[in-house]
């Protein structure tokens, strides 16, 4: 089971960025936790972060035929990134959308996800544990 984790804009600033909302753990800590959980589950994981929508789309295209699952936190593109929605659909790789914060409990513009309908489901509000839960989902789906 090969899983690609794609993180979108501003997630590189984790730990510094609005710690009251996103927590005090750094992006490096997120990467370490995801890698550790993937190893424990026997999942082959790669984690990438991009600030531009085009770069995320290129990464999704590049994942076609190479990965069995996609875990994506599209950051603010979640709320208006129609091209990202189309890329997830086009790639035909089962995807889970993850958000650190509970987007349903925040500003109204965050209540809509245009990318979630292209995904199998969405995990929101569990912090880094949301990525770990998404990995566990894919580990269970292992052929
Ligand atoms: C986020 C939620 C988005 O609304 C926001 O723009 C982000 C992070 C989250 O992980 O909670 O950048 O995707």
Q: Which of 12, 20, 101 to mutate to test the pocket of ligand 1 (most atoms within 8 A of CB)?
A: 101
Contacts of 46 (CB under 8 A, 6+ apart): 2, 3, 4, 5, 67
- How confident is the model at residue 52, as a pLDDT? 98
Distance CA 37, CA 123 (A): 17
Residue tagged active-site, from 22, 50, 67, 77: 22
Measured CA distances, 83 to 16, 56, 62 (Å): 29, 10, 15
Quick one: which atom of ligand 1 is closest to the CA of 110?
4
Radius of gyration of the chain (CA): 14
Whether the CB-CB separation of 72 and 6 falls below 8 Å is answered with: yes
Q: pLDDT tens track of the chain, all 143 residues?
A: 999 999 999 999 999 999 999 999 999 999 999 999 999 999 999 999 999 999 999 999 999 999 999 999 999 999 999 999 999 999 999 999 999 999 999 999 999 999 999 999 999 999 999 999 999 999 998 76
pTM of the model: 0.97
Sole residue written with tokens 């209540």: 111
Tokens of residue 54, six digits: 């085009």
Distance CA 130, CA 120 (A): 14
Contacts of 99 (CB under 8 A, 6+ apart): 73, 78, 122, 123, 124, 125, 130
Is 22 labeled as catalytic in the residue annotation?
yes
Residue ranges lining ligand 1, Cβ < 6 Å: 10, 73, 75-76, 78, 99-101, 103, 110
């Amino acid at each position: 089971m090969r899983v690609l984790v794609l993180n979108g804009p501003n997630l590189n600033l984790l730990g510094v960025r609005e710690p009251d909302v996103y927590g005090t753990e750094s992006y490096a800590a997120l990467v370490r936790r995801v890698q550790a959980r993937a190893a424990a589950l026997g999942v082959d994981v790669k984690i990438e972060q991009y600030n531009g929508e085009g770069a995320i789309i290129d990464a999704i295209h590049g994942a076609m035929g190479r990965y069995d699952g996609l875990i994506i936190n599209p950051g603010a593109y979640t709320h208006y990134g129609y091209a990202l929605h189309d890329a997830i659909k086009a790639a035909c790789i089962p995807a889970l959308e993850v958000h650190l914060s509970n987007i349903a409990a925040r500003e109204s513009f965050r209540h809509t996800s245009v990318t979630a309908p292209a995904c199998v489901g969405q995990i929101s509000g569990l912090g880094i544990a949301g990525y770990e839960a998404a990995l566990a989902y894919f580990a269970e789906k292992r052929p």
